[in-house]
Amino acid sequence: MAYIIDADECIACGACEADCPENAISEADGYYVIDPALCKDCGNCADVCPTGAAHEVK
């Protein structure tokens, strides 16, 4: 499964970017995005996101 960051829920705190071991997360227009080509589905982003914006796509 892939992970995404819901732009409406993202508060741009940067917690997910700092915790991503693959450097798959970057800031874009005031929120963070995950590059699916780099994401290895570890779930670290979802674990540290304070708003639940980072989550697994089902």
Domain that holds residue 43: 3-52
Per-residue pLDDT band at 58 (split at 50, 70, 90): confident
- Look at residue 17 and give its three-state secondary structure: helix
Residue 48 lies in a domain: yes
Q: What's at 44, amino acid-wise? A: N
Collapsing DSSP to helix, strand or coil, 3 comes out as: strand
d(CA 10, CA 58): 19
DSSP 8-34: TT-----HHHHH-TT--EEEETTEEEE
Q: What is the CATH number of the domain that holds 13?
A: 3.30.70.20
Could you tell me which residues are beta bridge partners of residue 33?
Answer: 26
For the chain, the domain total comes to 1
Closest to 16 (Cα-Cα) out of 57, 40, 52: 52
pLDDT at 51: 98
In a domain, 58, yes or no: no
pLDDT tens readout for residues 1-55: 699 999 999 999 999 999 999 999 999 999 999 999 999 999 999 999 999 999 9
